[in-house]
Amino acid sequence: MTVIIFQKLWTVISGGSRRQKLRISQQITLIDRTGIAHTGIDPVGSVIIEGELWKAKSEAPIERGESVRVKGTEGVFVVVEPIR
């Protein structure tokens, strides 16, 4: 029990797990990549890019299955735009 509490506390103090930090750094390499809207995005939803599921934001509504391009990142979200 003490070990679990310490691990959780360390994760909070250190600013997140290694996986979370890796995922955020991966977002930067996704800029200009294309993918498919996994859900409708209005203004938030999810997309699949290079086989991975990402939380997404968009200024314009995007329908499920529509092609998208990554414009940037905002926190844990990739910011996408529809490809029309």
Q: What is the average pLDDT score of the chain?
A: 81
Q: pLDDT per residue over 20-31, tens digit each?
A: 554 666 767 889
pTM for the whole structure: 0.69
Task: Specify whether domain 2-82 bears CATH 3.40.640.10.
Answer: no
Q: Where are the beta strands (DSSP E) in the chain?
A: 34-37, 44-49, 52-57, 67-74, 77-82
Give the integer Cα–Cα distance in Å for 51 and 30: 12
